[in-house]
Amino acid sequence: MATFDDATAVTARPDGTTFDVELDRGWTIGTGRPNGGYLLALLGRAALETARRAGAEQQHVIAASVQYVTSPSVGPAVVDTEVLRVGRSASQVRARLVQGEQVAVQAAFTVGHLRRDVDPYWGGVDPVTLPSEAECRPLPTPPGDDGDEPTFRQQVDERFDPSGLGFVDGAPGGRGELRTWFRFSDGREPDTLSLLFVVDALPPATFDVVSTGWVPTLDLTVYVRAVPAPGPLRVRFRTGLIQDGLADEVCEVWDSAGRLVAQSTQLVGIRIPDGPAG
C-alpha cells in the first residue's frame, strides 16, 4: 500500500506545469475508483508545486473547489495546471486531472499562508462532542469484503460515534449527521494538504437519513483554516436538505487542540428509493 504522500506524489514534466501521477489502488472507494478527496489532495499538491515555480511564496491550500466529471481508473494519469494569479497574500491555480483524453476532475485552488498556533479573532464553532476513541467504532467490513480488494478505509483509522451508525444495521438515526475521530492508519500526522482528503473520507451523511446507493459528488469546496496540531482529528459531517434528487453536506474538522481546521460543503446527487422518508 502506498502511503498518503506516495499516493499523492506528482512528477513535473519539463514544462513545469504538467505532472505525471499514478492513481493508487490503495486509495479507492471499493469500486476500484479513487476516492474523491484523495484526488483533490493530489491535485492540490500539483497546484502548490505550480504556484511555487511561478514565484508564489504561499505554501498552503486555503481554498479548493472541485467538480468531479468522470470517475478515473487507478493507474497513470496527467495533471495539468494553470496559474491564474500570483499575489502577495494569495495566489490562484487551476488544475485538472486527465486520463486518456478525458477530463476526470477539474479544480481551482487558492494558495495562501496560514500561521501556526493562531487564535480566532472572532467566532469559531466548539468542537463536536463525541465519545472517546475507545468508545467509538470503526465501520464494519462490508459483507463479502475479504480484504483482497483494497480501499482507502484500510489507510485510515476512523472511530465513529455509534449513535450515527444506525444505518449499518438498517436503522438510520434520522439526524443526518455522522461524527468520527480520524487518524491515518500509519501514524502520519495531519497537515493542511491531507485535510483536503479528510473532508471526503466519511460515508455520506445522508446515510443517517435514508439508505441509498452511492451518492456522487457534483461540486465540493473546502476551506483550510489552520495548520492542524498533531494527533487525532474530530470530524462532523451533516446534511441540511435532501430534495429533488440532490443533497448538501457540510463537513467540519477540528484538530487535537480543538481548533477548527477545515470546513467543506458539497452538493451530491441522491436517488431515493420509493417509500416514506427515514
Footprint of a copy of itself (CB under 8 A): 62-63, 65-67, 69-70, 84-85, 89-90, 92, 94, 103, 106, 108, 110, 112, 114-115, 118-125, 176, 209-210, 218-219, 221, 223, 225-226, 239-246, 248, 260, 263, 265, 267, 269, 272, 277-278
Nearer to a copy of itself, 70 or 141 (CB): 70
Nearer to a copy of itself, 165 or 270 (CB): 270
Contact 226, 195 (CB under 8 A): no
Give the SS3 label for residue 165. Answer: coil
Q: Which three cell numbers, joined as nine digits, stand for 6?
A: 506516495
Tell me how far apart the alpha carbons of residues 238 and 179 are, in angstroms, rounded to a whole number: 9
Q: How far is the CB of 241 from a copy of itself (least distance, A)?
A: 5
Tell me how far apart the alpha carbons of residues 199 and 220 are, in angstroms, rounded to a whole number: 10
Tell me how far apart the alpha carbons of residues 169 and 176 are, in angstroms, rounded to a whole number: 16
Would you give the end-to-end CA distance of the chain in angstroms? 38
Contact 69, 219 (CB under 8 A): no
Q: How far is the CB of 220 from a copy of itself (least distance, A)?
A: 9
Q: How far is the CB of 121 from a copy of itself (least distance, A)?
A: 5
Q: How far is the CB of 66 from a copy of itself (least distance, A)?
A: 8
Q: Which three cell numbers, joined as nine digits, stand for 219?
A: 461540486
Q: How far is the CB of 157 from a copy of itself (least distance, A)?
A: 27
Contact 179, 130 (CB under 8 A): yes
Nearer to a copy of itself, 85 or 188 (CB): 85
Q: How far is the CB of 94 from a copy of itself (least distance, A)?
A: 6
Nearer to a copy of itself, 58 or 151 (CB): 58
Nearer to a copy of itself, 35 or 110 (CB): 110
CA distances from 60 to 95, 121, 218, 228, 257 (A): 15, 20, 24, 12, 20
Nearer to a copy of itself, 15 or 119 (CB): 119
